[in-house]
């Protein structure tokens, strides 16, 4: 293997740069050149590529975002778009592709391999932590820290005003960020996309907090919960008449310098992706579990569901007594 390519695709996640660095440096270590593709599959379709050496990825391990830029590509959804991209890769002499992203990006990688026989390895990079086949995804730890910092600050003002605060966190259809933030932030309740609660139950959470002597409450809502934070806030106000404030944390959760766990994970997975291509592996995602590095067929990463920990949810309920 003489040359591989790397791209980042979908929503950016803190630690993607650390993963790019790991791919470029480990490939260089093994005598392989790396082509960086800009703007994900959109750049691949347009042939927006350039060689990346080990010095090109200096000083990026601590930076959020992605130096390669990213996009949610529509052209890539058509077979013609993918053929154009595959032709660019072949013209550049690329013999394998590392795709850093989430399930949408892995769909693109999977079809590229199926239709054009280009070896692909996926590296899980998304704050949502919603990919089956890895305990954690790159960016998740940092997003949780960012959201937690906001919750800690909101608790100060919630306590001072004896108010109820509803905080909506990201995570798309999954509740991983919400559950970890709820436990670490000592929230009174967490609303996960996995479980819908009737309005009466939501009001009951607030009433029972008050009856236990809690003057203020923090409720964490995953954005994928039906109706999101706005629905929970409206249900509380309609059912209890209590003054309630909603904070939607939004894209702030995607930014910032990656925490050490994300940098280490990205470094390990980036290197593992290159080693996998050298070993002739393809159409797989590299991940990390308790037993070490794992390989999961790309299609399973989105077809199988990684559920939130029910035991952690039980723990959250117990500790909010």
Q: Which residues bind ligand F6P (CB under 6 A)?
A: 11, 72, 102, 126-128, 170-172, 223, 254
- The minimum distance between CB 10 and ligand F6P, in angstroms, equals 6
By beta-carbon proximity to ligand F6P, the closer residue of 26 and 142 is 142
Phi, psi of 99 (to 5 degrees): -110, 120
- Region label for 280, one of left (φ > 0), alpha (ψ between -120 and 50) or beta (otherwise): left
- The minimum distance between CB 78 and ligand F6P, in angstroms, equals 20
* Other beta carbons less than 10 A from residue 291's beta carbon: 6
Catalytic residue (one of 12, 56, 103, 128): 128
- The minimum distance between CB 173 and ligand F6P, in angstroms, equals 8
Contact 49, 18 (CB under 8 A): no
Give how far Cα 149 sits from Cα of 109, 143, 145, 221, 252, Å: 35, 10, 6, 16, 11
**Distinct helix (H) and strand (E) counts, the chain:** 11, 11
Contact 241, 204 (CB under 8 A): no
Contact 49, 35 (CB under 8 A): yes
By beta-carbon proximity to ligand F6P, the closer residue of 72 and 197 is 72
Instruction: Tell me which DSSP letter residue 258 carries.
Output: P
Does 128 qualify as catalytic in the annotation? yes
What's the per-residue H, E or C state across 162-191?
A: CCEEEEEECCCCCCHHHHHHHHHCCCCEEE
- The minimum distance between CB 194 and ligand F6P, in angstroms, equals 15
By beta-carbon proximity to ligand F6P, the closer residue of 85 and 224 is 224
Q: How many whole angstroms separate alpha carbon 144 and alpha carbon 151?
A: 10
Q: How many whole angstroms separate alpha carbon 239 and alpha carbon 234?
A: 8
* Other beta carbons less than 10 A from residue 280's beta carbon: 9
By beta-carbon proximity to ligand F6P, the closer residue of 27 and 109 is 109
- The minimum distance between CB 127 and ligand F6P, in angstroms, equals 5
By beta-carbon proximity to ligand F6P, the closer residue of 124 and 171 is 171
Sheet containing 120-124: give its strands across. Answer: 49-52, 33-37, 3-8, 97-101, 120-124, 284-289, 292-297
By beta-carbon proximity to ligand F6P, the closer residue of 170 and 236 is 170
By beta-carbon proximity to ligand F6P, the closer residue of 3 and 72 is 72
Q: How many whole angstroms separate alpha carbon 119 and alpha carbon 112?
A: 8
- The minimum distance between CB 139 and ligand F6P, in angstroms, equals 8
- The minimum distance between CB 250 and ligand F6P, in angstroms, equals 9
Which active-site residues does the annotation give?
128
């Amino acid at each position: 293997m003489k040359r591989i390519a790397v791209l980042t695709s979908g929503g950016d996640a803190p630690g993607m740069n650390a993963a790019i660095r790991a791919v470029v440096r480990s490939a260089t270590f093994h005598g392989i050149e790396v082509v960086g593709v800009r703007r994900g599959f959109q750049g691949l379709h347009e042939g927006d590529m350039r060689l990346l050496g080990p010095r090109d990825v200096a000083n990026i391990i601590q930076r959020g975002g992605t130096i390669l830029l990213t996009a949610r590509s529509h052209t890539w959804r058509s077979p013609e778009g993918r053929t154009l991209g595959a032709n660019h890769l072949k013209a550049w002499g690329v013999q394998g592709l590392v795709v850093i992203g989430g399930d949408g990006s892995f769909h693109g990688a999977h079809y590229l391999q199926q239709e054009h026989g280009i070896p692909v390895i996926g590296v899980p990079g998304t704050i949502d932590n919603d990919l089956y086949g890895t305990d954690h995804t790159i960016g998740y730890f940092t997003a949780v820290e960012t959201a937690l910092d906001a919750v800690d600050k909101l608790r100060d003002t919630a306590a001072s005003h004896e108010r109820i605060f509803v905080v909506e966190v990201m995570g798309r259809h999954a509740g991983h960020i919400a559950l970890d933030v709820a436990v670490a932030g000592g929230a009174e309740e967490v609303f996960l996309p996995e479980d819908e609660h009737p309005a009466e139950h939501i009001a009951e959470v607030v009433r029972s907090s008050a009856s236990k002597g809690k003057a203020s409450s923090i409720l964490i809502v995953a954005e994928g919960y039906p109706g999101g934070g706005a629905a929970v806030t409206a249900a509380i106000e309609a059912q209890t008449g209590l003054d309630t404030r909603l904070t939607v944390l939004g894209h702030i959760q995607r930014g910032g310098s990656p925490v050490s766990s994300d940098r280490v994970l990205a470094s390990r997975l980036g290197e593992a992706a290159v080693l996998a291509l050298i070993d002739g592996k393809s159409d797989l995602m590299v991940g990390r579990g308790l037993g070490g590095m794992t390989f999961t067929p790309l299609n399973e990463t989105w077809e199988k569901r990684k559920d939130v920990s029910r035991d952690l949810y039980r723990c959250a309920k117990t500790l909010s007594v």
